[in-house]
Structure 1
Amino acid sequence: MTEANQGKPKISQGLIEFDSEFFDITKTINILSAVNPTNFDQQKKTFFDSHFSIEPEFTYDGSKLDVFATKRKLLNLPLENVVDEDLSEIYFDTINSYLDKVDQFNSIGTNDFIYDSLRYFGEPTQKDIGNAKFILHLPGNLNEENEEVLKFEEIKQILVDFAEVNELPYNLKIEENMIANALVSGNTIKLNKNAKLSISDTNALAQHEIGVHLVTTLNARKQPLRILEIGNPLNTMTQEGLAILSEYLSDNLTIKRLKILALRVVAVQSMIKEKSFRKSFLLLKEEYGASNDIAFAVCSRIYRGGGFVKDYLYMQGFHKMLNAYENEPNFDLLFTGKTSIDYLPQITNLIEKGILQKPQYVSTIFKQPESLSEIKQYIAHAIK
C-alpha cells in the first residue's frame, strides 16, 4: 500500500449495494422530463387563436409510479450500511426528499401537483419578488432583438462544437415539442427544433446546459457511488445558479435574459395567487411588456404539470452562486455532481476522506472568466 492510500476508507460492498439499490429506485423519477407537455405547440396555437381567452390544457405522457411500493422501497433501504456520518446524512436527507418527489411525480397533470411542488421547492419570498421587480424596471426593451436570429443548424453546431472542444462525451437528440430551447437529460443534449436564438443566446445556452448541467452529470458518473447522480436534496437552486453564473462569467447574460428570469418569479407568484394561466399571461404582457411569445413561454414553464414552481429559484441561485464563486474556497467541488451548496461541507469532507472524488470536468469559464463591464457587475451584485 502506498503512503498516499494509507488511511483512506474502503467503500464496502454493503455500501455499494445500498447505493445501487437507491439509484435503481430513483432512476425513473425524472420530473423535468415528465412535465414536458406533449401538445405544447397545439395549445399555443389554440390559446393565441382564442385571443388569450381559453386556458391551455396541456397533456403529458401519463407515466405513473406505484406510490406505496416506491415509498416502501425507499424506507426499507438499509441505511445502517452507511457508516460514515457525512455520507449517512446525505443519504438520509436524499431519501426523505424522494418521498416527496414520488408524490410530485404522480400528481403531474392534476390539481395536486402545485401543492406537491410548493412543498418541495417552496415559494418566492418578498426578497425574490423585490429582486425580480428591480430587474424588470431596468432600462431596455424586453422584446428587442439586437442580434440576428440563427438558423437551427447554426445553433446545433455551436452546441456540438462547445461539447467537443471541451472533450465532453454527449448524445444529441432533436425534439419538436419542447418548451425549453434545450435541456440535458443524463448525457443527452435535447435541442428544440423550433429554437430561435441569437449568437449570445446560443453561447449562453452552451455554457448553461453543457458547461454546467452536462458537466455535473459526467462528474457524478465518475464517482465510485451514484449518490451525486441521484442528486442532493433541493439541488435545483445550486445547479441552476451555477448555470446562470456561467452565462454571466462568459458575458452572455443579457438584460433581456435577466428580465425573463425575473418574469418567472413574478409568474410563479401570480400562479400561486390566481391559479389562472390567462391572468398570469396578461400580467406579464400588460404590466411588464412581455411579447406574446415570451409571456406564453414563461407561463407554460410555470404552469406545466399543474404548477411547477421551481423557476423562481434561478435568480436566487444566481445570487448565491455568485457569492460562493467570490468567497467559497471549495467552490469547484460544487461540480462534483448534482450537488447543493447546503451539502458542500459534507462533500468536501467525503473527498478529503477518499470516498468521493474531485470533479474531473470544470468549465474553463470559471477559471478564466470574461472581462465584464462595471454596469453588468453592479446589476449582478445588486440582486440580493
Structure 2
Amino acid sequence: MTETKIRYQQDIRRFSDELIRIQAPIKILDTIKWPRHVEDHFLSQQTKSLPKIEANFYDNVPLSFNTDNTQQELKQLRTAIIKRLGKQDKLGKILIANVEQYLIVIDMLNNRGKPTFGKLSQELYGSASHKLHGDRNTLRQLGDRLSHIFSLPAARHMSKQHPKIITAPQAVDHLSQRLVNYFHDDQIHVKLSDGIVSDAAVGGDTVKINTRAMFSESDMNVYEVHEGWVHVGTTLNGRAQPHATWLSVGSPRVTASQEGLAVLMEMLTLSSNPGRARRISDRVSAVDMAEQGADFIEVYRYFRNQHLSSKDSYRVTQRVFRGGMVQGGSFFTKDISYVRGYVENINFIRSAISSGLPELIPMLFLGKLAIEDIPVLFEAYQNGLIAQPKYLPPMFKDISGLYAWFGFASGIGNIDLKGVQRHFARSFSKVTINTQEAELFEDAEFDNNSD
C-alpha cells in the first residue's frame, strides 16, 4: 500500500470521527416530541380545540447542544475537508453533503414552532408534492393509491387479527432473543423507555420499547426486521468500517433510503400487514394536507372520516405537526420518506439487475447512506477503502433469489392489469363472503406504530 493511500485512509477516518463527534448531541426527534398527556387531553376533549402546543412550548425544550458552537465546528470541518481532500474528491463530497445537512438541521431546530421550520423541513426531507425520479406522479398521488389499496374490503377480509397480548417487558425479552441470534458478534440492547411517543424506536445500537404499549406477534416480526436488521444493522455496519465511520450515523439525506429499506424488509419477509401498510401510506396524505395549510384538527378529522380509530388518527397527524404549528403553516415532512424510500429502493434494485450490476445491491446495508452514494462507495470498496457490510439479511447475502423475484416482477410489469382484473372480476362475481366473518375482520384494529 502506498504512503499516499495510507494518508488518505487516515484523513477519511479523522474527518469521519470528527463528524460523528460534532453531530452526536443533535437529536431531532427528541427536540420536537410531544408529551403523552397532550394526546390524552386532545382525545378527551373530542377535538374541540387544538393541542396545547405553541411556539413557547419548544422554548421550554432546550437543545442539548450550543447551536453557535456546533455550527462553527461544522463549518470548520467543511473547510478542513475541502482543504485536505479537494473539492472534487468523491468521498469528501459525501462527507461535505452530510456536514451541510446538519447545518440546515440546526437552523430548523432553532425555528421550532415557526413557519421557517416547515420550509427547512422540506429542504431536508422533501415535499409530498415532489415527484419520484423518472415518474410523473407526485408522492401524494402515490400515497393515495396505496392508501386506497390497503383500505379495500379485501384488505380487511384477508387480514388476520393480531391480538396485542404481549406486554412491554415481554416484548423486550422476545425481541432481545431474536436480535441476539442475528447480531452474533455485537452487543445490542433492547430496553423499556418512558421517553418515546411511538411504540418502538431506535437509537444507535438500542431498540426502545414503550412501557405503556401492548404488542402482537406481528409487531415483533416488524420490529425485528425494521428496527433491528435495518436500523441497528446499518449502524453496526457503519461502525465496523475501518475508515468511513461516518456511515454509522445519518443526516436527513439518508432518511428515505433507511426508512424505505426498512419497509422493503417488512415486505420481503412478509412481516407487515394491510393495517401497517396503510399507516405508512396515510403519512404522505397527512404531510400533503399540512403543506396545503390544513391545521391539526382538519388533518385529524380527515383520517377519522377515513375510518381510522381516534388514536391512530391522532398519531398520524401528530407526527406531521411535531416541531411545526398546530394552527397550520408549518410542518415536519419526514414521513414522506417511508413511501418515497420504498419505491426508490425497489427501483434501485431493479435498475442494478437490468444494468448487469447486481453486486451493488448488498451495498444498501453498508451503513447510513443515500442511494445516490452507492456507486461512489462501491468504487471505494473495490479500491479497498470501504469494507463490505458485516451484517446482511439472508436474501441479501445470496441475491440470486432477489434477482429472480425482481426479474419476474419487471417482466410482468407491462401486463394490462385492468384487463386481467376485469377477467377475474367476472369469475368472482358469484363468490360471497360470510357476513359475520367479514364484520369480525372489519372490527379488528391494526396499530403498528414505530418511528
Question: What is the TM-score when the length of structure 1 is the normalising length?
Answer: 0.87
Match of 1:165 in 2: 181
Q: How does 1:273-352 map to 2 (within 5 A)?
A: 273-286=292-305, 288-306=306-324, 307-328=331-352, 329=358, 330-352=360-382
Amino acid at match of 1:234: R
Q: Establish whether residue 220 from structure 1 lines up as the match of residue 238 from structure 2.
A: yes
Q: Compute the RMSD of aligned alpha carbons.
A: 2.8
From 229, 253, 261, the equivalent of 1:242 is 261
Q: Establish whether residue 147 from structure 1 lines up as the match of residue 162 from structure 2.
A: yes
- Does the Cα contact within 8 Å between 1:158 and 1:203 map onto a contact in 2? no
- For residues 140-184 of structure 1, what are the alpha-carbon distances to aligned partners after superposition, in whole Å with 9 as ceiling and x for unaligned? 349x87122132244223311221111252122311242222111
- Does the Cα contact within 8 Å between 1:117 and 1:308 map onto a contact in 2? yes
Taking a change above 3 Å as real, the CA distance of residues 262 and 341 of structure 1, as seen in their structure-2 partners, is same
From 121, 132, 141, the equivalent of 2:143 is 132
CA distance in 1, matches of 2:232, 2:74: 27
CA distance in 2, matches of 1:364, 1:36: 35
Q: Which has the larger radius of gyration?
A: 2
CA distance in 1, matches of 2:201, 2:85: 33
From 108, 114, 118, the equivalent of 2:118 is 114
Match of 1:189 in 2: 207
CA distance in 1, matches of 2:123, 2:22: 21
Match of 2:422 in 1: none
CA distance in 1, matches of 2:12, 2:223: 37
Q: Establish whether residue 25 from structure 1 lines up as the match of residue 36 from structure 2.
A: no
CA distance in 2, matches of 1:235, 1:181: 23
Amino acid at match of 2:346: L
Q: Which moved more, 1:341-350 or 1:320-329?
A: 320-329
Q: CA deviation at 1:128?
A: 1.3
Taking a change above 3 Å as real, the CA distance of residues 7 and 105 of structure 1, as seen in their structure-2 partners, is same
Q: CA deviation at 1:337?
A: 1.0
CA distance in 1, matches of 2:337, 2:13: 33
Q: Give the fraction of aligned pairs with identical amino acids, expressed as a percent.
A: 24
CA distance in 2, matches of 1:233, 1:342: 14
Q: CA deviation at 1:348?
A: 0.7
- For residues 24-68 of structure 1, what are the alpha-carbon distances to aligned partners after superposition, in whole Å with 9 as ceiling and x for unaligned? 22111121332222x12x111111111112211355642154433
Q: CA deviation at 1:365?
A: 4.7
Q: Establish whether residue 357 from structure 1 lines up as the match of residue 399 from structure 2.
A: no
Q: How does 1:27-106 map to 2 (within 5 A)?
A: 27-37=24-34, 39-40=35-36, 42-58=37-53, 61-63=61-63, 65-77=65-77, 78-79=80-81, 80-82=83-85, 85-106=89-110
Structure 1, unpaired ranges of 5+: none
- For residues 96-115 of structure 1, what are the alpha-carbon distances to aligned partners after superposition, in whole Å with 9 as ceiling and x for unaligned? 22221111233334443222
CA distance in 2, matches of 1:293, 1:365: 36
Aligned residues: 369
Question: What is the TM-score when the length of structure 2 is the normalising length?
Answer: 0.75
CA distance in 2, matches of 1:120, 1:198: 34
3-state DSSP of counterpart to 1:205: helix
3-state DSSP of counterpart to 2:207: strand
Q: CA deviation at 1:243?
A: 0.2
3-state DSSP of counterpart to 2:256: helix
Amino acid at match of 2:15: F
- For residues 319-356 of structure 1, what are the alpha-carbon distances to aligned partners after superposition, in whole Å with 9 as ceiling and x for unaligned? 12123334422111121110110111111111112222
- For residues 263-292 of structure 1, what are the alpha-carbon distances to aligned partners after superposition, in whole Å with 9 as ceiling and x for unaligned? 100100111123411110001111x21111
Match of 2:420 in 1: none
- Does the Cα contact within 8 Å between 2:172 and 2:191 map onto a contact in 1? no
- For residues 44-97 of structure 1, what are the alpha-carbon distances to aligned partners after superposition, in whole Å with 9 as ceiling and x for unaligned? 111111111221135564215443332222222201223582111112222222
CA distance in 1, matches of 2:350, 2:333: 28
